[in-house]
Amino acid sequence: MSDAAGKRPADPARRTTLKVLGASLGAAAFARAAAPLTEWSGELSVAEFLQKHYRELTPDEMKAVLARIEEETQRKTGVAVSVSDLRPQPGVKFGYALNLSICIGCRRCAEACHQENNHDRASHNSYIRVLEMTQGSLDMEKGNATYQHPVPQPGHYYMPVQCQQCDNAPCVKVCPVEATWKEKDGVVVVDYNWCIGCRYCEAACPYHARRFNWHAPQVPAEEINPNQGYLSNRLRPKGVVEKCHFCLHRTRAGRLPACLEACPTGARVFGNLLDPNSEIRWVLQNKRVFVLKEELGTQPSFFYFFDE
């Protein structure tokens, strides 16, 4: 080869050798780059890969999707679960209000969410972060979410923050694939089968309400909540974003959210904003309510108030 390098015109053998070498390198690089795809597709069924967007599925197709998810969950975890797809009720728009005067910061709401929604046990994930706030400040960015001392502490109040279900939701606007959207009853939902994991929504949310699944949530089989919803608490795959969905697998069946049932003080008020006789409407009419980061124009469906 060293002799050939000095000769002119170029040796055809040298040219062929370089071509073969280049093609081999290219093929090897492509195989290497595609490796995550081939490995990942091992877990992905053809049916799941070809599944249409949630809002394009016919009722029959949805039924098949739910049956497939139930079957896959049974196969992977050994747990028989029921995955439902409850739709928004006509005449219902959900609202939530939280009384900061009586919240004691016990985190039982976050714990109930952790269990209800099949969150990853190791990271102790929850859609709710309870912020320990200094009295006199309303800046949630200064709140402490990791306190581990008896509560309530003098000089502090406690502000649980979860998805505010904004009417003008920044997270929905930034999604490049329409994997997240606002439903008619006000709940901002995520289709875990459509999310590509770009995390734009997580960055866009001013309330830090979205979570990314760096790995598939690990939940012991005996602790899996079998009452699951397609858009809510079914077991999420790796690499998708999730968020509070107002427990829609419960609330669309008329039940109270898990976080409210866990609250020992009654600081949480949930109901239908369109029903003038509802508890949530009484709060909005009789308490001095405010929303977080009102200046951003997100128009939350989640309200906070103090008693006096």
Partner 1 sequence: MVDRRWSRHVLALLLVGVGGACGGAAATPAAPSTSTSRGALHAVEIRAHPGLGRLDGTVEDVRGAPAGVRCNTCHTSWVTGAPARRPQELDEFHEDMIFRHGNLACASCHDPDNHERVRLASGETFPLSETMALCAQCHGPQHRDYRNGSHGGMSGYWDLTRGPRVRNHCVNCHDPHAPAWDQVLPAPPPRDRFLTSSHREGAHHE
Footprint of partner 1 (CB under 8 A): 97, 99, 102, 104-108, 110-111, 122-126, 129-131, 140-148, 150-153, 208, 211, 251, 253-256, 260-261, 263-266, 269-272, 275-279, 282-283, 286-287, 307
Residues in the chain: 308
Q: Which is nearer to partner 1, 57 or 140 (CB)?
A: 140
**Bridge pairing between strands 268-272 and 241-242:** unpaired
Nearer to partner 1 (CB atom), residue 22 or residue 266: 266
Residue 28 CA to its chain's centroid (Å): 37
User: Nearer to partner 1 by C-beta: 69 or 259?
Assistant: 259
CA distance 46 to 52: 12
Q: Residue 158 or residue 192: which is nearer to partner 1 going by CB?
A: 158
| Least distance in angstroms from the C-beta of 143 to partner 1 | 5
Greatest Cα pair distance, the chain, in angstroms, is: 95
CB of 238 to partner 1, least distance (A): 15
Q: DSSP string of 263-274?
A: -SS--EEEEETT
Q: How far is the CB of 174 from partner 1 (least distance, A)?
A: 18
Q: How far is the CB of 308 from partner 1 (least distance, A)?
A: 8
The nearer residue to partner 1, 235 or 283, going by C-beta atoms, is 283
Helix (H) or strand (E) holding 182: strand 180-182
114, 123 contact by CB (below 8 A)? no
Of 20 and 253, which CB lies nearer to partner 1 in the complex structure? Answer: 253
Measure CA 61 to chain center: 24
* Beta strand 227-229 pairing with 129-134: unpaired
Helix (H) or strand (E) holding 242: strand 241-242
Minimum distance from CB of 199 to partner 1 (Å)? 13
From the CB of 173, what's the least distance to partner 1, in Å? 21
